[in-house]
Amino acid sequence: MRCNVCYQPILIVRDKILCPECQNTFHRDHLAAWLLNVDYCPTCREMLSPQFLKELRPTSEAERRRLQEILWTLDNLTNTMANYERSRNMFKKNKYKEPLFPDGIPLGIVFLFFIAISFIVVVILLITTLF
Ligand SMILES: [Zn+2]
Ligand SMILES: [Zn+2]
């Protein structure tokens, strides 16, 4: 099973925690870090009970700092992933829209132009051979 904050597998059972509202799984530290600033589940957005929050919230300054650092790491991770997704999407979009010629002339028009030129050449050849 995976953590719904970092999307990594939860390897140690002791690290696992369930959202009481949606039953989604999280790393205990990752859910605790998320809950430093808000009162709701990151997945279902339901408000969590005060007892549940109390269980996860830091009891010491050192613990609070540790969770804050985890939160920053997760923020960086999600930003990096968002940037990665954005650049991937841009790449995909460019690939679809990518013009076949750098100045944006579609291949169809070039092909028609080529056909027209060939037709004119053939006509000229016919005229010169016939007359
Ligand atoms: Zn996690
Ligand atoms: Zn939930």
d(CA 68, CA 97): 43
- Which stretch, 5-9, 46-50, 96-100, 124-128, has highest mean pLDDT? 46-50
In angstroms, the Cα distances linking 10 to 41, 44, 63, 86 are 18, 19, 21, 27
Distance from the alpha carbon of residue 4 to the mean position of ligand 2, in angstroms: 9
DSSP 13: G
The bridge status of strand 16-18 relative to strand 25-27 is antiparallel
Q: What is the pLDDT of residue 96?
A: 54
| pTM for the structure as a whole | 0.61
Distance from the alpha carbon of residue 27 to the mean position of ligand 1, in angstroms: 4
- The 10s digit of each residue's pLDDT in 86-103 is 777 766 665 555 555 556
92 plus 104 within the same structural domain: no
Q: Which domain holds residue 107?
A: 100-131
Sequence-ordered list of residues with C-beta below 8 angstroms from that of 54, at least 6 positions apart, any chain: none
Distance from the alpha carbon of residue 86 to the mean position of ligand 2, in angstroms: 27
The CATH number assigned to the domain holding 83 equals 3.30.40
54 plus 90 within the same structural domain: yes
Distance from the alpha carbon of residue 2 to the mean position of ligand 1, in angstroms: 7
